[in-house]
Structure 1
Amino acid sequence: MLNIVSISLADAKRVISAAEAKASAIGSPSNIAVVDAGGNLLAHVRMDGAQLASITHSINKAFTSLACKSATRDLAADAQPGGQFYGIANSVEGRIITFAGGIPLVDGDAYVGAVGVSGGTGAQDQSVAEAAVAAL
């Protein structure tokens, strides 16, 4: 039998709160999503002024980083033509996102969920996601 450990709602709220604070500090209204260990949406926030299109991007960045056990920005180079993961963005019904802003949430050696941030530049999304992870 497998024992799956997952992020709690209380932890997800803390992660989102830290992300909101960072996004506000850098002037990047963001969509912030947290998925559980199964890749299911646990919590989401759309800050005032955040782009509507970024709602789905934030959720899919979180899903991607958990499913691939990698930060989404680290997948980008290998997803380009000629790369070992070229075409990955077309897999899993188009849910795979290969640009910055998604980071797995890890407790010890267990992947307990992931955070996805979208709404700013790649560097801003990554910065907000890193602040979120640091809160866990």
Structure 2
Amino acid sequence: MKDIARLPCPCGQARLHAECCGAWHTAFAEGRGLLAPSPEALMRSRYSAFVLDRLDYLLATWHASTRPATLEPSEPGLKWLGLDVKRSALQDVDHGTVEFVARSKLGGRAHRLHETSRFVREGGIWFYVDGDLS
């Protein structure tokens, strides 16, 4: 099994996973809470969690008002190809949006998810609320 901490972060930042999204995943796994400092950092860490099938992190970072009861693991053979953040903005100190494109491949077919996600901060913690597909 590969040591993901020593590999480039799946989110596309020019850092090792341990120094990027892995820091937020590890803090959560160790019980230190949800520490992503911005909507974009949370969105990137959620993308990385999808790549790594960290379903517990995905559910924890999903706002309670829109969180599904469960998440299914990725389909066998799904390969995430990359993330492109198009725009990130704060509407005020507790609300933000991130527009992104996530690319994947399954069964020889390419897929593209283009979404503008909404985030809210409650008690100092950022949560994913929902998103509009483009």
Calculate the TM-score normalised by the size of structure 1. Answer: 0.30
- Relative contact order (alpha carbons < 8 A, sep ≥ 6): 1 or 2 greater? 1
Higher share in helix:
1
Calculate the TM-score normalised by the size of structure 2. Answer: 0.31
